[in-house]
Amino acid sequence: MSRKGKLVHQACEVRRGPQGAFASWENTKDVWQGFARFLHERALLPRRVQDVSVAAIELYLHDCEARGVARSTVKNYATEIRVVMARLGRNVASMTNKAFGLATRCRDGKKRPPTPEELDQALTRARAVHEGFYLLLCLQELFGLRRIEVLRSTRDFETWLHLLLGGAQALPLRRGGKCGRQRRFRILEHRREETVSVLRQAVLYCRAHHGRLVEGRRKNLEGSRGSLSARYRAVGLKGEIAGHCLRYSYGHQMASAELDRGVDEHEVLLGVSTDLGHGPGRCLFTLRTYLLGLLPRFQRILNNGRLIRIPKDIADDERFRPPPRVKENGARTYWRAHIRNRRAGEGKRDIEPGMSVLPVHP
């Protein structure tokens, strides 16, 4: 392995670990490959990541800006590099975006929920082309789920249908969440009958098509997910109303219905953030991204653009707590112990395949 490859490998090994989505790990590799290539071309490549100089990092960020890379992307590069350096013990207190000359940018979302006319047109086109894709769009808009969450939850459709017929107001998401997190999401009560009808159609369709709503060139989950981007564009869901904006539509409907009923703004924001899978810690992000069109209705809980502290009785409400985590699989637990030992300087030799690494509770 070349010195450049070793540098990228060390950065990825440090940045990875037992937590975080796989997509985030891939993003780390992409960032550090570009950074290592830059250092190699200018004869600044060190042998270890912790030996990278602050001047080299600053030079790389300014080079990215000169090449026309978006300011927000450059800030993400700086954060990715800073996190890796911090985990290796480098004092990075001075390596802030402000110190690098990266000014603060507007964090408001650039997308919006599709209008009823745009949504109807997209659903009509989707139904004419592919029934399974049409059902996937309907479920995304009714449940506020990500595309991968719908694709992986096909085995739970029958359970969801039984729960809805029994009067349930929220459904469990067990598969497809980021980092394997499970959660509950509420249904739109004013569209309950439509939800039951769409879910019943999805159950029948999956039974007739080997448990899949969409299939790609490869007959697996990866192939199904890879085919969706082109399908979204084909039905007109692109640009500021991309396929992900169906979650925006769900958030707007849920928040508007609760605000109309007189529910406290903090409680509405916590509920929508939890339903969308972002949790109570990202309420301001949810407001300025998914609910930007409803921002005037939340001015009472904002102070100079910042969210007023959520009352303790609302923040501690069990409705906004995630369900308990299930027992982890062996591969992820093994990797967690491996990373813990590497950080302690013990290497991988103390863990053998098949050895139990679960904590022992008295």
Answer whether residue 340 is part of any domain. no
**Token couple for 150:** 């719908």
Are residues 127 and 84 part of one domain? no
Q: Which of 42, 73, 88 is the last residue of a domain?
A: 88
Distance between CA atoms of 135 and 137, rounded to whole angstroms? 5
Answer whether residue 217 is part of any domain. yes
Of the listed ranges 254-258, 293-297, 338-342, 348-352, the one predicted with least confidence: 348-352
Answer whether residue 303 is part of any domain. yes
Is the pLDDT at 309 greater than 80, yes or no?
yes
Is the pLDDT at 16 greater than 70, yes or no?
no
Are residues 120 and 64 part of one domain? no
**Per-residue confidence (pLDDT) for residue 349, from 0 to 100:** 42
Are residues 286 and 229 part of one domain? yes
Q: What is the pLDDT of residues 258-274, one digit of tens each?
A: 999 999 999 999 999 99
171-198 mean pLDDT? 91
Are residues 315 and 175 part of one domain? yes
Are residues 290 and 143 part of one domain? yes
Amino acid identity at 176: G
On whether the CB atoms of residues 37 and 90 are closer than 8 A, the answer is no
Answer whether residue 175 is part of any domain. yes
On whether the CB atoms of residues 184 and 172 are closer than 8 A, the answer is yes
Is the pLDDT at 142 greater than 50, yes or no?
yes
Q: Which of 88, 107, 125 is the last residue of a domain?
A: 88
Q: What is the pLDDT of residues 74-115, one digit of tens each?
A: 888 988 888 888 888 876 666 777 777 766 667 788 899 999
Are residues 137 and 34 part of one domain? no
Distance between CA atoms of 281 and 273, rounded to whole angstroms? 9
Domain containing 145: what range? 116-319
Are residues 144 and 74 part of one domain? no
Number of domains in the chain: 2
Q: How many CB atoms lie within 10 A of CB 334?
A: 19
Dihedral of CA atoms 238, 241, 244, 250 in degrees, nearest 10, equals -150
Answer whether residue 191 is part of any domain. yes
On whether the CB atoms of residues 248 and 290 are closer than 8 A, the answer is yes
Distance between CA atoms of 140 and 212, rounded to whole angstroms? 15
**Per-residue confidence (pLDDT) for residue 106, from 0 to 100:** 72
Answer whether residue 10 is part of any domain. yes
Taking the CA atoms of 23, 142, 195 and 188 in sequence, report the sign of the dihedral they define. positive
Are residues 168 and 290 part of one domain? yes
Distance between CA atoms of 78 and 64, rounded to whole angstroms? 11
Band (pLDDT 50/70/90 cuts) for residue 318 is confident
Query: Strands, E, within the chain: which ranges?
Result: 170-173, 183-186, 302-303, 306-307
Are residues 275 and 133 part of one domain? yes
Answer whether residue 324 is part of any domain. no
Are residues 249 and 126 part of one domain? yes
Of the listed ranges 29-38, 214-223, 276-285, the one predicted with least confidence: 214-223
Q: What is the pLDDT of residues 56-77, one digit of tens each?
A: 988 999 899 899 998 888 888 9
**Per-residue confidence (pLDDT) for residue 240, from 0 to 100:** 92
Packing angle, helices 245-260 and 265-275, rounded to 10: 150
The position carrying tokens 């697996």 is: 220
On whether the CB atoms of residues 203 and 158 are closer than 8 A, the answer is yes
Are residues 269 and 167 part of one domain? yes
**Per-residue confidence (pLDDT) for residue 353, from 0 to 100:** 46
Q: Which residue from 206, 227, 234 is spatially nearest to 132, judged by alpha carbons?
A: 206
Backbone φ and ψ for 58, nearest 5 degrees, come out as: -65, -40
The position carrying tokens 């039951």 is: 196
Alpha helices in 209-329 (DSSP H): 221-234, 245-260, 265-275, 283-289, 312-315
Are residues 311 and 165 part of one domain? yes
On whether the CB atoms of residues 198 and 142 are closer than 8 A, the answer is yes
Please tell me which residue, 345 or 256, carries the higher pLDDT value: 256
Answer whether residue 350 is part of any domain. no
